[in-house]
Amino acid sequence: MTVVLGCIADDFTGATDLAGLLARSGVRVRLHMGLPSEEAGGDVAPFEVIALKTRTLPVGEAVEQARAAADWLRAAGAQRFFWKYCSTFDSTPQGNIGPVAQALMADLGASQTIYCPAFPENGRRVFMGNLFVGRQPLAESPMRDHPLTPMRDSDLTRLLAPQVAGPVGLVEHPVVEAGPQAIRAALVALAEAGRAHVVIDAIRDGDLTAIATACRDMALISGGSALAMALPGLYLANGTLAADAPRLVPPQLDKGAVVLSGSCSAMTNRQVAHYLQGGAPGLRLDPLELAQNGPRAALDWLGAQDLSRAPILYATADPQSVRAAQEHLGVARAGEIVEEALAACAVAARDRGAQRIVVAGGETSGAVTRALGVSRMDVGAEIAPGVPWCFGRSAGQDVALTLKSGNFGAESFFSDALERLQP
């Protein structure tokens, strides 16, 4: 078995999203939480996904980690690579998306790559280079108030231009609609015009399949998870991937569960409210209180809960409360305090036997998996598009984790997740 596609994601929920969509094909997908510490090689899956936590890091550090991940994947046999970022193109003002793509292209000897964050099933579409979230342009969507990466422009070519050397190209939707051959021809013409970085429109899954067909042999593809979805089928069809990959057998799990929410997205706010309305025991964490007293009160509360009722601990709050906390503590510190507290709660819940752990938020998921010491997981069934249950080991026991991207899932996501994976 060799690695058919080596994938690098810039955050943990983004990586599970990608892994979940690849796993829809039935092919085995392995997810590494952070740069793998074990030697590359040995037992590998055809799709290996490395989850980094680089979305908000300084550019140099993000680039260094992505290159190290690509080196590991290359040593494991990968010859094609996928660079996964958020379907809302989340980046800091300096931006890591372009610099990472550029560095990987240089290392892999790729002369051109594409950028396509579209995820139509979740309402992300790219048209004439502009990213829409549902009906709203990105910059008018709730993403404009994201705690760490507020997105205030919707034009991907304009967002990408300062992040890369040389001009950015665009393959417009009419070309994409005309199919793989037209896309290939447009990419060749753009390459001849010196455009190594090309944004591609996509408004439905069929567009993504056409793009994946046109680009499946590129050394580096970059985009959201949905662009990768067609790749396993294409690799099976052309014989790059053998059809006899083993299937996942999920472990037996106990009744105990906990829900930890550090995402402040509009959707997570609704999901938390819905879960509490349904009668779940819940405790709201206040960053200012945590800054003064630490997580002791949260841990005491959790210690008194019946874990078979899947209690929720959440810092999820509306944009106004988030801003107030950030003004007092600073953006980074407010985030860290919450992440540390939720991570401590995850460990305490695991130590009391919780084997199903639901986490909302990419940064939060990074902190939780790190605290649990979960370094790699096998990817199971999806609860909602882009949100699978994953199975790993923590402190010698089986744990199931689902890492929900801030904006993903239905309002009933938390109860959906627990129903989907009943002991």
Ligand X SMILES: Nc1ncnc2c1ncn2[C@@H]1O[C@H](COP(=O)(O)OP(=O)(O)OP(=O)(O)O)[C@@H](O)[C@H]1O
Ligand Y SMILES: O=C(O)[C@@H](O)C(=O)CO
Residues that bind ligand X (CB under 6 A): 11, 13, 146-148, 262-265, 268, 287, 315, 317, 321-322, 325-326, 334-335, 338-339, 361-364, 405-407
Pick the binder of ligand Y from 147, 169, 223, 224 (CB under 6 A): 224
Residue pair 298/341 in contact by the 8 Å Cβ criterion: yes
Measured from the CB atom, the residue of 9 and 302 that comes closer to ligand Y is 9
The size of the interface with ligand Y (CB under 6 A), counted in residues, is 12
271 near ligand Y, judged by CB under 6 A: no
Pick the binder of ligand Y from 7, 13, 130, 229 (CB under 6 A): 13
322 binds, among ligand Y, ligand X, none (CB under 5 to 8 A by kind): ligand X
Strands 113-116 and 257-261: unpaired
365 near ligand Y, judged by CB under 6 A: no
402 binds, among ligand Y, ligand X, none (CB under 5 to 8 A by kind): none
Distance CA 402, CA 33 (A): 13
Distances (CA, A) of 258 to 32, 88, 344: 22, 28, 12
325 binds, among ligand Y, ligand X, none (CB under 5 to 8 A by kind): ligand X
3-state SS class at 260:
strand
225 near ligand Y, judged by CB under 6 A: yes
321 binds, among ligand X, ligand Y, none (CB under 5 to 8 A by kind): ligand X
- Let me know if 289 is exposed, middle or buried by CB neighbors in 10 A (0-12, 13-18, 19+): middle
Distance CA 200, CA 180 (A): 12
- Give CA 261 to chain center in angstroms: 16
17 binds, among ligand Y, ligand X, none (CB under 5 to 8 A by kind): ligand Y
Minimum distance between the CB of residue 42 and ligand Y, rounded to whole angstroms? 28
Distance CA 46, CA 282 (A): 40
3-state SS class at 177:
helix
Go through 38-54 and write b for each residue having 16 or more CB atoms within 10 A of its CB, e for each that does not.
Answer: eebeeebbbbbbbbbbb
Minimum distance between the CB of residue 145 and ligand X, rounded to whole angstroms? 11
- Locate 155 and state its tokens: 């034009």
- Locate 215 and state its tokens: 């680009």
Residue pair 28/47 in contact by the 8 Å Cβ criterion: yes
Instruction: State the alpha helices, DSSP H only, in 225-308.
Output: 225-228, 231-237, 266-277, 287-293, 296-303
Query: How long is the chain?
Result: 423
Minimum distance between the CB of residue 267 and ligand X, rounded to whole angstroms? 8
Pick the binder of ligand Y from 25, 54, 209, 405 (CB under 6 A): 405
Minimum distance between the CB of residue 265 and ligand Y, rounded to whole angstroms? 9
Minimum distance between the CB of residue 168 and ligand Y, rounded to whole angstroms? 20
Measured from the CB atom, the residue of 196 and 227 that comes closer to ligand Y is 227
Q: Which stretch binds ligand Y (CB under 6 A): 12-20, 106-114, 152-160, 172-180?
A: 12-20
315 binds, among ligand X, ligand Y, none (CB under 5 to 8 A by kind): ligand X
343 binds, among ligand Y, ligand X, none (CB under 5 to 8 A by kind): none
Task: Tell me which residue has tokens 């994953």.
Answer: 390
- Locate 60 and state its tokens: 């140099």
Q: From residue 61 to residue 100, what is the string marking binding to ligand Y with x (rule CB under 6 A)?
A: -------------------------xxx------------
Minimum distance between the CB of residue 229 and ligand Y, rounded to whole angstroms? 12
Measured from the CB atom, the residue of 46 and 295 that comes closer to ligand X is 295
Go through 367-388 and write b for each residue having 16 or more CB atoms within 10 A of its CB, e for each that does not.
Answer: bbbbbbebbbbbbbebbbbbbb
Distance CA 171, CA 163 (A): 19
Task: Tell me which residue has tokens 């800091």.
Answer: 92
Minimum distance between the CB of residue 209 and ligand X, rounded to whole angstroms? 25
Minimum distance between the CB of residue 363 and ligand X, rounded to whole angstroms? 3
- Which secondary structure element, helix H or strand E, spans residue 82, and what is its range? strand 81-84
Minimum distance between the CB of residue 165 and ligand X, rounded to whole angstroms? 28
Q: Where do contacts with ligand Y occur on this chain (CB under 6 A)?
A: 11, 13-14, 17, 86-88, 224-225, 362, 386, 405
